[in-house]
Copies of this chain bind each other. A is one copy, B any other.
Amino acid sequence: MAEESRAFVPGHVTGFFSVHRADDPARTGSRGAGVTLADGVTTTVAPADETSVTLNGDRTSVEAVERVLAHLDVTARVRCETPLPAGAGFGVSGAAALGTALAAADALALARTENDLVRVAHVAEVESGSGLGDVVAQARGGVPVRLDPGAPPHGRLDGLPAAGRVEYVSFGELSTASVIEGDVADLSAAGERALATLRDRPTTDHLVHLSRTFAREADLVADDVGAVLDEVPGAAMAMLGRTAFAFGTALSDAGYDATATAVHPGGAALRE
């Protein structure tokens, strides 16, 4: 048994999505597309008699993380470090949940496969109401396209080949739960249209274009993000947060004080 174990999980911004609910939380999820980011969450887990969670050094509570540990039937000290703002559409809770699952299984020698641990983290996210598709996208990396909702073995993913710089500007939080637990019929119809259209021409330019249309159709554009989208044709909104993102230098070229990161080439993984 390791003293402690560490996992890195990329951030994830969703461009568009549809909501799919089932009785089984492992079959519940979203379809859609987004981008995983080299800016992510590093989670360190050490066995402990009582569970505690810190985020960038501050004691906190992340329901999805606590549910992961409960599903694994362990207690542990969990430390999450990230440059990403929480609640702003970067999948920080999903990353913390998946990182906890991977690192806890290693630290406590639980002998679980990656698909098992992705399922545990996805179920914990769904039960917490904090996300529907981040965990499976973060497990895959790159520019994930969620073809079918849910965790392994139910969900099915593809990806758009892409590398290089991604920029983002964030204005703060938007409640994921208030959107995905409300009436999502129109939103889901718009997300399904976007996915079908993306599959006809699977490129990152098209992903951005369809994400912009989706944000308007689903009526989710906050004022501050809307101003960015109006000014920068290559920018889209991160679902769900008051965040705009773009490939390349589109945001900094337009004069925004954007944070630069990159498409993360791989998915979630243990780190030495």
Contact = CB atoms under 8 A, between A and B. Distances in A.
B115 A271 contact: no
B270 A163 contact: yes
22 contacts: A8-B265, A105-B161, A111-B201, A111-B203, A113-B159, A113-B160, A113-B161, A113-B199, A113-B202, A114-B142, A114-B159, A114-B160, A141-B269, A161-B269, A161-B270, A163-B269, A163-B272, A165-B272, A264-B266, A265-B266, A266-B266, A267-B267
Interface of A: 7-8, 102, 105-106, 109, 111-117, 141-142, 145, 152-153, 156, 158-165, 199, 201-203, 262, 264-267, 269-272
A74 to B, nearest CB: 15
Given A113-B199, A114-B158, A161-B270, 17 more contacts: A8-B265, A105-B161, A106-B161, A111-B201, A112-B161, A112-B202, A113-B145, A113-B158, A114-B142, A114-B159, A114-B160, A141-B266, A141-B267, A164-B272, A165-B272, A264-B266, A265-B266
A153 B142 CA distance: 18
Nearest to A8: B265
Given A111-B203, A266-B265, A266-B267, A158 B163 contact: no
Contacts of A102: 161
B115 A162 contact: no
Contact of A269 (B112, B142, B270): B142
A153 B199 CA distance: 15
Contacts of A152: 158
A150 to B, nearest CB: 14
A205 B120 CA distance: 23
A165 B269 CA distance: 14
A208 to B, nearest CB: 14
Contact of A158 (B111, B115, B201, B272): B115
B114 A161 contact: yes
Contacts of A156: 153
B161 A117 contact: yes
Contact of A159 (B115, B161, B272): B115
Contacts of A8: 265
Given A117-B161, A152-B158, A161-B102, A202 B111 contact: yes
Nearest to A109: B203
A37 to B, nearest CB: 13
A175 B159 CA distance: 33
Nearest to A264: B266
A158 B262 CA distance: 26
